[in-house]
Amino acid sequence: MSDAAAPIIVADGLTKRFADVTAVDGLSFSVAPGEIFGLVGPDGAGKSATMRMLAGIMRPDTGAITVNDVDVVGNPEAAKPHISYMPQRFGLYEDLTVDENIRFYADLFEVPPALRDERAARLLTASGMSRFRRRLAGQLSGGMKQKLGLTCALVHTPQVLLLDEPTTGVDPVSRRDFWRILYELREQGVTIVISTAYLDEAERCNRLALLHGGRVLYCDSPAVLKQRMPGALVAILSSDGRAARAALSSKAGVTHLILVGDGVHAVVDDAERRIPELREALRRAGVPFSDIAVSAPSIEDVFVAMLENGESAR
């Protein structure tokens, strides 16, 4: 997305404490219009608290938030028409049908019936749920419930969509469907903030904030994040990963050895220099291996490396 555009969301120095726990600790970021921005991190990183503050339903202890130039902290009611917020447990009425749930949320947001019907039809088609309009929400699978929640949240076509862990516990096929809908919304100019504990979903965002313990470890695009990996990841394909790990465990320049199903991943300081050394060490130890090569690190690899280096954007 164009970096030049004025941000539609600005969060500046957000802090939120619950008793003696600091859930969010001086968090700042901004989101450009039409961007998918990820709040990515494990449980307890501060994702949900941040989402609630952005939605104007929880006041930060300190810090400022604006959405479309509206002060969310000072005047949450004025911000709400710009925002649609889908919490982790979206309030679907399980004993109402798919259609009835949509109608309920449309009425809540005072959407005219003709507009509502047109939008509902389009969203249900996009999510592959048209066949289930008369099904009770309580009888939908987890992935379909999430898609219905999204449909309800979108029935008033907001400019900003806040999604709190919409894909948790959703299987990979439904997750892909869900992301396809988000990309279509982005095409239509909707700005999306999405939180997720699946680190691999970070790669689907335009930009992301990697959160840990309420603080930002990193904030930029996934491609730039991967370049921040200290050192390189070397994948060793071996039928005896344990032996390979043992043979390499005390080698110079190797900071990590991770057993995987196909062998071992080694994090090294300098791949070009270390690969010949590792190859030689494996040969000398008589460990069978079929390949040794630099491999693209996953976001998780980078996350773990950053945590261990004590690196932080602050």
- Note the residues at the interface with another protein (CB under 8 A): 1, 36, 42-44, 141-143, 168-174, 176, 179-180, 183, 187, 197-200, 203-206, 212, 221-222, 237, 239, 241-242, 258-262, 295-296, 298, 300, 303-304, 307-308
Write down the least CB distance from residue 263 to another protein, Å.
8
Whether 199 contacts 303, CB under 8 Å: yes
Q: Which amino acid, residue 129?
A: M
The smaller minimum CB distance to another protein, of residues 75 and 141, is found at 141
Write down the least CB distance from residue 60 to another protein, Å.
24
Supply the DSSP string of 143-180, one letter for each residue. HHHHHHHHHHHHTT--SEEEEESTTTT--HHHHHHHHH
The smaller minimum CB distance to another protein, of residues 75 and 130, is found at 130
Helix, strand, coil share of the chain (percent; to 5): 40, 30, 35
The smaller minimum CB distance to another protein, of residues 101 and 301, is found at 301
Write down the least CB distance from residue 284 to another protein, Å.
22
Closest Cα partner for 184 from 140, 137, 125? Answer: 125
Write down the least CB distance from residue 84 to another protein, Å.
21
Supply the DSSP string of 167-229, one letter for each residue. TTT--HHHHHHHHHHHHHHHHTT-EEEEEES-GGGGGGSSEEEEEETTEEEEEE-HHHHHHT-
The smaller minimum CB distance to another protein, of residues 6 and 223, is found at 223
The smaller minimum CB distance to another protein, of residues 34 and 60, is found at 34
Write down the least CB distance from residue 54 to another protein, Å.
22
